[in-house]
Structures are given as structure tokens and as C-alpha cells.
Amino acid sequence: MSNSNNIAKDVADRLRQHTGRGEGIVTVDGGNVVVSVDVEQSERYAVGVRGIHVKPQQPGGDVRDTAERIVERVQSLDEPLTVVECDTKNGRAIVRSAEPEADEAGVTYWEADVQRDETSLRRYHKQHGVPERELVTEPLKHNTAGRVAEQLADAVRAAPVE
């Protein structure tokens, strides 16, 4: 079991241990949260991340507060985040890249789906003129993936239970 200060290190260590094993899920028990990283491939210095998921032991409180803490605390990505949708009645918020990468092909952005019982952070690409977006595997250094996981866990864990 990890405390908040060890989630980043434990995730990075487990990602390194996953090197050469192909796709899978790397999980760390953070005490009152469980952090899972959906891995496409882990190599010596980096990992292909399809998603980072945080599940609190107890469902959290106000999703707007959680979403705002994610914007404030998740600082290890290359771009700032912002709350774009919030449905407090149904307990769901969406946080996205404040300044998504854009080019002639489309836009690429981070998105956190914030719910009371789980929060998932993924990277997407949306082509211009195509209705569906696609999940992007994002290459991150092991330590960066660990820091993002810890920052996301800290934001989710700080949610008071209603």
C-alpha cells in the first residue's frame, strides 16, 4: 500500500517492471485510492499510456470540486487543463486540455472523465470533419506517468464524502 508521497514512485517502478511485457494494466494501491495505468507497451525509458484511472475507496463528494482540483493539481502534463462540463446532479464532470494541440489533421487533447466513484484521464485525437474521436496512446517517461498518476490521485482523494 502506498501513501500519497509514494504513488509516483510506485507507479514508475511498476511501469519499469512491466518493460517488455506488452499491453496490460499496472495497479498501485494508494490506501484510500487505487491507481491503474492502462499500458500499451513499456520500454526502458518510457511507456505508452492509454489511460490513468483513479478509484477512491469511498465515492467522493462534489464532482465540480474534484474537477477543479484536477485542473489545479495535475501539472505534469505538457498542457494546462480546464473544466468544460459539469453535471453535479448526475455526478459527472469533464476536464480537457485548455489549449489542445491543433494542426491541419485535427486536435489532440487530454480529457478527464470525473465521476464520484472513478476518474479516468485519457488522450484523444479528433480529426476535422470526422464525427468520432480516437484514443491516443501517449508516450510518457515512467517518472512523468507516476507524477501524473499521483497528482490525479491527490485531486480525487481530497474529495470530501457528501
pTM, whole model, 2 decimals? Answer: 0.92
In the chain, which ranges are continuous DSSP H helix? 4-17, 63-73, 142-157
Instruction: Give residue-wise pLDDT tens across range 138-149.
Output: 999 999 999 999
Spatial separation of the C-alpha atoms in residues 147 and 127, rounded to whole Å:
29
Instruction: Give residue-wise pLDDT tens across range 53-112.
Output: 999 998 878 999 999 999 999 999 989 999 999 999 999 999 999 999 999 999 999 999
Instruction: Give residue-wise pLDDT tens across range 8-29.
Output: 999 999 999 999 999 999 999 9
Spatial separation of the C-alpha atoms in residues 127 and 14, rounded to whole Å:
34
Nearest Cα to Cα of residue 152 among 101, 113, 107? 113
